[in-house]
Amino acid sequence: MLIPVQTLHKIEVGAVTLAFRRWARPRVLPGTRLRTMIGLVEITAVAAIDPAEISDADATAAGFSSRDELLAFLARKADGDVYRIGIRYAGPDPRIELREQDDLSAAESAAIILALQRFDRASQRGPWVLTILRLIAGQPAVRAPDLAAGLGWETVVFKRHVRKLKELGLTESLKVGYQLSPRGRAVLDELVQSSIRGRNT
């Protein structure tokens, strides 16, 4: 569910509490939390509604200047049902705090490395985690297509792999490209040391 930037800022301060969409079927469920540029946006309710039942108050709560403006927005898509969606700001993205945590205990470090090893084992391309962490560490703020090309990968595949690292708090997106988070640098150091220890045994 895409939400315009200006609407996100209104959600953050509580000025927008509803959204309306025309969908063939619901694309979100109550309790869903969307990660956005302002943090988490929670879906509080989803219900089909007859457009004739939409009120002026509904339109205002959805960030529209009038009911007519909202109906015109919904009319841009002819197919599907109209859904009334409750939304609220649910706080900052927990990955932001996570990526600053670089003082890892032995148990935390082991859990992260285990997750990364699973990524490597599940990949049809072979191990990739250390390669991408090193690539981003060495080339911060470089466009994703350029980083992907250096590996001979499709950009969409490269971005998908980086998102897996981001979920663990290891990378962060910049206006252009990426950089390792403090947590990511700590994990990269541990992976490099583990690799060296493995070669020396």
Q: Walk me through the domains of the chain, giving residue ranges and CATH numbers.
A: 5-92 (2.30.130.30), 95-199 (1.10.10.10)
pLDDT tens by residue, 115-152: 999 999 999 989 999 999 999 999 999 999 999 999 99
Indicate the helix (H) or strand (E) that contains 116: helix 106-122
pLDDT at 197 over 70: no
pLDDT tens by residue, 23-82: 999 999 999 999 888 899 999 999 999 999 999 999 999 999 999 999 999 999 989 999
Nearest one of 73, 85, 89 to 37, comparing CA atoms: 89
Helix, strand, coil proportions of the chain in percent (round to 5)? 50, 15, 35
pLDDT at 85 over 90: yes
pLDDT tens by residue, 92-104: 888 888 888 889 8
pLDDT at 16 over 60: yes
Q: What is the DSSP letter of 13?
A: T
Q: Return d(Cα 130, Cα 117) in angstroms, integer.
A: 10
Tokens representing 175 are 């206006």
User: For position 192, what pLDDT does the model report?
Assistant: 86
User: For position 89, what pLDDT does the model report?
Assistant: 97
- State the pTM of this model: 0.67
* Confidence at 199, pLDDT banded by 50, 70, 90: low
Indicate the helix (H) or strand (E) that contains 6: helix 5-12
User: For position 93, what pLDDT does the model report?
Assistant: 85
Beta strands in 72-161 (DSSP E): 81-89
User: For position 73, what pLDDT does the model report?
Assistant: 96
User: For position 118, what pLDDT does the model report?
Assistant: 96
pLDDT tens by residue, 144-184: 999 999 999 999 999 999 999 999 999 999 999 999 999 99
Q: Return d(Cα 135, Cα 178) in angstroms, integer.
A: 10
